[in-house]
Amino acid sequence: MSSTNTTAKETTEPADTSEMIAYYALIVVVVGTPLNILTFIILCRSTFRNANARPILHYMRAMAIFDILMLYGWNIDHYFSIMHGFQIQTSSMPVCRFFSFLNYFAPQSSAWLRVFVCWDRYLSLSRLHKTWFSHPKNVLTIIACIMIILFLLNCQMFFLACYYIAPGKITVFSLAFEIYPVWDYVNLGVYNCAPFILMVTFNSGVIYHLIQLRCTSTIRNSRIQHRSISIALVITTFMFLMMTIPATVGFAFFSTSYRPVLQFLDGLLYSYHILSFPLYIITFDEFRHNFINMIKCDKNNRRVGQEGITLAAPQQWNAARMNITT
């Protein structure tokens, strides 16, 4: 995921490899866009509208939106540059600067929203009462702060990135300073390293409390899905490590290496951001039942029993903890 994605295709690359990379990038867009839109639609259904009970839904909806936006940047230009010999990003100066900004802003926003999802889960399990972070209005404030901070971090792209190197020919580099690979180093820390460290820390705390709660609980038919939540957390964090960090590290430090390998890693990175729907289907029972009801056009839209909720509400955790303490 780098500015080097916007350069012309190297003639030394094997044609078959290049075409596979190009078509895979297109498949990610074609598959990922409707899946993320469907995720957002399901999370807006009446069953999930009560954000007071589960403010984490605000994060999940925002994640779906940013996961859509980040597919339309370097990823889609993999296809157009290889198959058609041009990049959308360099089609005009406003488009170039907008996509230079979006290519960093969207993935960073998506990553930090996931960090606060882990933080919300940790607080819901480790605190008996709602904290400041668990109130819906405050969650919206946190999301707004994330957007503002990351906008300010990357807004220099609107002013310093891109310039004409010839009449009608635009480059993504800057005359002011060496954006690339400098901003790839910044992106490595903001998009990968810091979020991953925080996700591991919060998820470790969640898993610890889940194990402790399960060992001390005398309620066999507890409504808290210990196993499913733990598995979901571990899978999400492990996938973030395996699918996003290699590409970011590669473009930051090895941008001149064998390009098909880097583009393959880039494909894995973008693939991570289209997996929310299948992960929710597998680990989030209420989401799965809503999807099935939507397919069946179930107008009753009856609330699914809380025993199937993977992302449990804070009240649910608290009730179980109170049972333990009594």
pLDDT of residue 125: 78
pLDDT of residue 71: 92
Give domain status of residue 311, yes or no.
no
Residues 62 and 143: beta-carbon distance below 8 Å: yes
pLDDT of residue 256: 66
Weakly modelled stretches of the chain, pLDDT under 50: 2-12, 218-226, 300-326
Give domain status of residue 317, yes or no.
no
Give domain status of residue 310, yes or no.
no
Please name the residue ranges forming H helices in the chain. 15-43, 56-69, 74-83, 93-126, 136-154, 157-160, 179-187, 194-216, 226-253, 259-272, 276-283, 285-295, 314-325
Indicate the helix (H) or strand (E) that contains 221.
Answer: none
Give domain status of residue 318, yes or no.
no
pLDDT of residue 305: 41
Per residue in 178-195, pLDDT (tens digit) is 888 888 889 999 999 999
Domain count, the chain: 1
Give domain status of residue 305, yes or no.
no
pTM, 2 dp: 0.81
* Containing structural domain, residue 146: 15-296
Give domain status of residue 323, yes or no.
no
At CA 34, angle to CA 139 and CA 294, rounded to 5? 80
pLDDT of residue 262: 80
pLDDT of residue 319: 47
Q: CATH number for the domain including 286? A: 1.20.1070.10
Give domain status of residue 143, yes or no.
yes
In whole angstroms, give the CA distance from residue 309 to residue 324: 20
